[in-house]
Amino acid sequence: MPEISLLTESVDHFLRYLTVQRRLSRNTVNSYGSDLNFFIEFLHQAGLRDPVQVTPAELRAFLKDCFARDITARSNARRLSALRSFFDFLVFQGKLTVSPAAEIDLPKIGSVLPEILATAEVDMLLAPPAAGEMDPRALRNCAMLHLLYATGIRVSELVNLPVQDCSLSSGHVRILGKGSKERLGPFNAEAGARIAAYMEHGRPVLLGRRSSRFLFITSRGGAMTRARFWQIIGGMARQRGISKTVSPKTMRHSFATHMLAGGADLRALQMMLGHADIATTQIYTHVDISRLKAGHQKFHPRG
């Protein structure tokens, strides 16, 4: 068995800290782990096995190697962010006196605004299934899309939603978000009707004699997965003549942008989306402004 380096042990301690102390989601911790393990592999190849051996020069060499592999600036910025958090943790623990990442600048990345659907495209996607398509899976898919757009819920939150956390009588779902923080997601009467139809006519058929605590399940009775729902929503968009690439994130972005365009308060939207920092929510104000500018340039005589 190969010897475990101090670098590997330090990363393991850091990931446990993120899980236990920071209570970050499994997906977020896995993302940190993937980026840090990629960095450790680079250092091990250079013969470095202890965090105290890492200098800014090694970090710059690592980023240079990433760019040489055609890894995007956005991915490298994310990796450097993970490294900064890791080395800050070691400084806090007294393992290092100073972080080697402190003087490294983040790679410049363009401001990529999220793609959204027009309201007419949302209407196309949310149209009820045709009479011949009212099978249990169609009822489920329709209910999931309506709830996604009605609440702006994350796809990981959607597929893990327990039955007991969906209240048809009060018209809301209780969402367990990042960092195990709870919030309420209100939904409209139409979404409620789609969910009710699925729960009455679709879910019992999919379950058969099995049981599940999850609201949305597969034809085998198991919980819906993120990857499968990405496939479903993309396929439904193509079937309904939508040329854009549509994903659960597209629906979440569309929900947020349409809410702001309709006059929603930014703080209220922050709560509905489950953002810890309002700066994350403010990107949707940029999207709306960009649409206003596009309209001005198109219709103003001197645009």
- Using one digit for the tens of pLDDT, what is the confidence trace for 143-189? 999 999 999 999 999 999 999 999 999 999 999 887 778 999 999 99
Task: Count other Cβ atoms within 10 Å, centred on residue 281.
Answer: 20
pLDDT in tens, 191-235: 999 999 999 999 999 999 899 999 999 988 888 988 899 999 999
Q: Which residues of 53-85 are buried (b: 16+ CB within 10 A; e: fewer)?
A: ebeeebbeebbeebeeeeeeeeebbbbbebbbb
Structure tokens at 99: 């972080």
The rounded mean pLDDT for the chain is: 85
User: What pLDDT is recorded for position 167?
Assistant: 95
* Domains detected in the chain: 6-92 (1.10.150.130), 119-297 (1.10.443.10)
Give dist(CA 204, CA 196) in Å, integer. Answer: 12
**What are the backbone dihedrals phi and psi of residue 31, each rounded to the nearest 5 degrees, phi first?**
-65, -45
Percent pLDDT > 70 in the chain is 87
| Nearest 10 degrees: Cα torsion 125, 126, 127, 128 | 130
Burial class (CB in 10 A: 0-12, 13-18, 19+), 166: buried
pTM (two decimals): 0.62
Residue 107's pLDDT band, with cuts at 50, 70 and 90, is low
User: What pLDDT is recorded for position 128?
Assistant: 83
User: What pLDDT is recorded for position 24?
Assistant: 87
Residue 132's pLDDT band, with cuts at 50, 70 and 90, is low
